[in-house]
């Protein structure tokens, strides 16, 4: 009977424990790599969504401001109050208002308000909306509007509680500021940018 037991080959308990420990170490490295890759993917997708939303808001603002005759900062909301040129009767315009207000409300939404379309949300997660003007009254040809926009999300509670942020800034020169003459930036009220 003793000779039969000696002829059977197998693993000892120490060899099995060593293999289990080595596999556990390799597994922890593998899963930490996968966890890190997932965090990078989630961060990138959150940044992409914020950037797309910020780009849309900025594009909407710049298109409407290019058509402005006057631009001012609203004293109650801190937003931009734009007076646009009246569109010809033959143009296809969904909003024929000549006065439009863009502002950030208390719910962190970017709002576009006019007399014919009241309080339309054009973006969410707006943390900062900061417009500044340079000589934007009638008869001044060097009018520029600088806008800084920061969007921040609230974070994802799974594995990553940090909020992400995107900041965009641009400078716009309205085309319809009345100067009495045509120059390199102003078209004396003859510029039309139809927004649908």
Three-state DSSP state, 21: helix
Q: In what order do the strands lie in the sheet with 144-152?
A: 126-134, 144-152, 165-172
**Average pLDDT in the chain:** 79
**What pLDDT band is residue 189 in, cutting at 50, 70 and 90?**
low
Beta bridge partners of 190: none
Strand stretches in the chain, DSSP E: 68-73, 80-84, 99-104, 110-114, 120-123, 126-134, 144-152, 165-172
**What pLDDT band is residue 187 in, cutting at 50, 70 and 90?**
low
Model confidence pLDDT, tens digit, residues 85-142: 666 555 555 666 788 899 999 999 999 988 877 788 988 889 999 998 876 655 555 6
Three-state DSSP state, 33: helix
Flag whether the pTM goes above 0.75: no
Please give the C-alpha separations between residue 189 and each of 43, 77, 121, 157, 175, in angstroms, as whole numbers.
45, 27, 28, 51, 7
Least confident stretch, 29-43, 102-116, 177-191:
177-191
**What pLDDT band is residue 57 in, cutting at 50, 70 and 90?**
very high
- Of 145, 127, 172, 130, the residue nearest 72 (C-alpha): 145
């Amino acid at each position: 009977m003793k000779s039969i037991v000696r002829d059977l080959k197998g693993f000892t308990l120490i060899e099995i424990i060593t293999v289990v420990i080595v596999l556990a170490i390799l597994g922890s490295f593998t899963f930490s790599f996968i966890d890190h890759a997932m965090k990078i993917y989630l961060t990138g997708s959150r940044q992409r969504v914020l950037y797309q939303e910020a780009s849309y808001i900025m594009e909407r603002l710049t298109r409407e401001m290019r058509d402005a005759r006057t631009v001012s900062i609203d004293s109650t909301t801190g937003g931009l109050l734009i007076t646009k040129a009246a569109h010809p009767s033959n143009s296809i315009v969904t909003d024929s208002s000549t006065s439009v207000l863009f502002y950030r409300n208390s719910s962190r939404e970017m709002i576009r308000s006019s007399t014919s379309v009241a309080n339309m949300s054009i973006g969410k997660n707006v943390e900062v909306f900061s417009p500044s003007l340079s000589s934007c009254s009638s008869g001044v040809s060097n009018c520029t509007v600088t806008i800084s926009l920061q969007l921040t999300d609230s974070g994802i509670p799974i594995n990553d509680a940090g909020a992400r942020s995107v900041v965009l800034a641009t400078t716009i020169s309205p085309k319809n500021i009345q100067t009495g003459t045509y120059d390199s930036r102003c078209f004396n009220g003859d510029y039309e940018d139809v927004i649908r």
